[in-house]
A and B are shown apart, each in its own frame.
Chain A
Amino acid sequence: MEKILFLAHTQADGTLPSAAREALSAAVDLCRGLAGSSLAVGLIGQEIKSAADAIASCGAARFLAVTGAEFAVSRYASDAAAIESLVRQADATLIVAPATSRFSRAIPGVVQRLQGRIETHISGLDVADGKLRVQRWYYRQRMVATLTRSHRPWFLVVDAGVFSPWEGEAGSASPENVAAEFPENCTRTRVIGVQSPSANTQTIRPEADVLFVAGAGWTKKQADGELHVKEAEELILDFLKKNNASLGSSKSLVDQSVEGEAVLPFMSHLNQVGQTGSTPRHPKGLATCCHGEEPHAVGWRFINERRAINLDANCGWAQGKADVLYVADAFQVMKKVNELLGQ
């Protein structure tokens, strides 16, 4: 019999992030699938009542909470103390949590403290013959494994976009307050604030329907023998604005900034998709001026429909990595696309 604990933290406005609702879905499904198991909810934040009420009907037998000003911010020492207390209080054997940056930082240390085990980047959970089976990718989305463990406690950190967000009636939860034991020097780290990489442009939009990837070709000499970086910048930003798309990049393009070459000012390593970048989840992806080599294309694993524009008909996208490859000049095509989107 498993004791399942769903863990989440609140956001600045007191609500749960959507990734948390997705993880809750996974936890609820798991509780249904594992006969005789029970579900508890553990929440962390300055104030968690409204978040608890929003998920009051999820079927949890207990709501536990660590609250207070110290837990408003995302900091390893305080978060680890809070998570440890919640897991101990719930006596949990399976802990399901969303892969937020806050939990990704803090949970592994708690696993160490509790002598547990952990799986991260979970892309699937199912129960067969009464056993929990976890699916996750290895070698940066090159191969997928299904595994199980007997060791408990077992922490399951679920990637965003895998499960549908939990939906249910709000109600009135009665969270039990749990005291977190603060280690000495817990507040040696102070969170100063949040900074966007680009002052005037927010280009990373995880909720967007379309991922637009720009490759290094945008900043290379074009057919007329000249660089057209300013024009590239305008075309890309115009497309992002008109289509509300998220911006990705190949490694070679973002590396140019540290190598002193012409750069797109709104592009940073945060935009990088692929082996050493991110693996975003979007329904559609459009690659431009990018060759689609394997180290980049592995970052497209969770992009459902893929199209690419490239001058090279033999580029990587042509090798079964895209649904459609347009052999054309991306400057010309995107200019026309923007015109059509603006009509």
Chain B
Amino acid sequence: MNGGFHIVVCGSIVPDPLQTLAPIEGPTGPALKNELMLPAVLDPWAGHALYEAAHLAKNAPGSKVWLVSLGPKAKLQQLMMTIAQKVSFELVVLDGPAGGFTDPCEVAGALAGGIEKIPDLDRSRLLLFGGCASASRDAGVTMQMVGERLGITDQFLGVDELTVSEDGSLQVLERIEGGQYQVSVCTGAPAVLAWATGNLPEPPNNPQIGMMNMRTIMPALQKAQPAPVGAEGVSYLGVELPKQRRETRIVKDLSVDEIAREIVEWLKG
């Protein structure tokens, strides 16, 4: 691939999955209780996309990675303390809500607008990465909408593997039904790849990468563009936690044979 890829990764924050979440009615619609106080992490599938982007950039000389994040500036700054130590990227900050109750159309509009403003972005070499769904709204539609807004008609969803050939063509493995992969080959960039888990582990922290990234991250946070996305036209009639809590029967004093017999009866019942 001559000149490498320009890889833009869309990804933001979600509440740490170990946190207890409770919905409340906010001034503009549903929100999470203590949302701004909840510890946050990089959205897991977007995180995989970022690590895959960094890996690809490392192996395709001349490539560059941008991370475009829509979220509250202060929370993104906290997140960068960990993420920035893992892989090299240039940050683009869109200062707005990162919660799940925003509309993906509005989010896609803000992300596409932010990407269009990236200076020196070569759209002919663009690979648009992101998670196949967020851990907040979990709609699985935002990347396709951003791609469509940017005029990219080669799109892949639920990607676990990308192989770049010497001629720049992309072989992509996408998750499909029944635990199988669809294998496709695209002639090259531009393309949208909404990642599932991928194949890479989370990179270890590297303070040198962190220091290098921080030179651009702090100015990026200062230059954050406001992105007041919401959910215009949506009427939420109710948001609630599932009520079902099971009365767990804890079986401690049965023999292995008795447990097995009980399980088989249940399975056959």
Minimal Cβ-Cβ distance residue in B for A332: B256
Determine chain A's interface SS by DSSP, over half rule.
Answer: mixed
Give the complex CA separation of A150 and B231 in angstroms. Answer: 12
Residue in B closest to A341 when the chains form the complex, CB atoms: B264
A162 to B79: give the CA distance in the assembly, Å: 37
Closest to B135 in A: A140
CA distance A9 to B186 in the complex (A): 22
Describe B's contact surface by its main secondary structure.
mixed
Q: Which residue of B lies closest to A128 (CB)?
A: B237
Tell me which residues across on chain B come within 8 A of A269, comparing CB atoms: 160, 196-197
Are B155 and A105 in touch, CB under 8 angstroms?
yes
Which of A100, A286, A322 touches B248 (beta carbons < 8 Å)?
A322
Does B157 sit within 8 A of A, measured CB to CB?
A: yes
Contact of B139 among A121, A293, A323 (CB under 8 A): A121
Instruction: Say yes or no: A323-B147 contact (C-beta < 8 A), given A150-B233, A203-B179, A340-B260.
Output: no
Q: How many angstroms between the C-alpha atoms of A190 and B241 in the bound complex? A: 44
Chain A residues near B236 (CB-CB < 8 A)? 145-147
Q: Once the chains are docked, how many angstroms separate the CA of A253 from the CA of B182? A: 24
Cβ B139 vs Cβ A120 within 8 A? yes
In the complex, whether B123 has a CB less than 8 A from a CB of chain A is no
State A192–B182 Cα separation when bound (angstroms). 8
Q: Which of A137, A210, A294, A324 contacts B138 (CB 8 A)?
A: A137
Contact A118 B183 (CB under 8 A): no
- Pick the contact of A76 from B156, B188, B246 — CB < 8 Å? B156
Q: Is the CB of B180 within 8 A of A195?
A: yes
Chain B minimum-CB-distance residue to A185: B153
CB pair B144 A317 closer than 8 Å: no
CB closest chain-A residue, reference B253: A327
> Is B228 interfacial (CB-CB < 8 Å)?
no
Given contacts A145-B236, A255-B201, contact A108 B266 (CB under 8 A): no
Query: Does B50 lie at the interface of the complex (its beta carbon under 8 Å from any beta carbon of A)?
Result: no
Residue of B nearest to A257 (CB): B199
Does the CB pair B15–A139 fall under 8 Å? Answer: yes
Interface hits, A99-141 → B, CB 8 Å: 100-102, 104-109, 111-113, 117-121, 133, 137-141
Chain A residues whose C-beta falls within 8 Å of the C-beta of B262 in the assembled complex: 326
Which residue of B14, B237, B249 contacts A148 across the interface (Cβ within 8 Å)?
B237
B112-145, CB < 8 A from A: 135-142, 144-145
B84 within 8 A of A: no
Interface string of A184-228 (1 = CB under 8 A from B): 011011111111110000111110001000000000000000000
> B108 contacts which chain A residues (CB < 8 A)?
112
Contacts of B173 in A (CB 8 A): 195
The answer to whether B17 has its CB under 8 Å from any CB of chain A is: yes
Complex interface: chain B residues within 8 A of A294 (CB): 17-18
Interface string of A290-305 (1 = CB under 8 A from B): 0001110000010001
Whose C-beta in chain B lies nearest to the C-beta of A210? B267
The answer, yes or no, to whether A10 is at the interface (CB within 8 Å) is no
Chain B residue numbers with a CB within 8 Å of A317 are: 248
Q: Mark A71-106, 1 if CB is under 8 A from B, else 0.
A: 000111100100000000000000000001110111
Chain B residues with CB under 8 Å of A145's CB are: 30, 101, 236, 238-240
Question: Apart from A139-B136, A151-B233, A324-B251, what are 8 other A-B pairs with CB-CB below 8 Å?
Answer: A101-B157, A102-B176, A108-B144, A120-B141, A148-B237, A243-B267, A313-B252, A328-B254
Can you list 13 A-B contacts with CB-CB less than 8 angstroms, sorted by A residue number? A74-B182, A111-B145, A117-B233, A139-B15, A139-B136, A140-B138, A188-B154, A189-B187, A202-B179, A275-B135, A305-B266, A313-B250, A323-B246
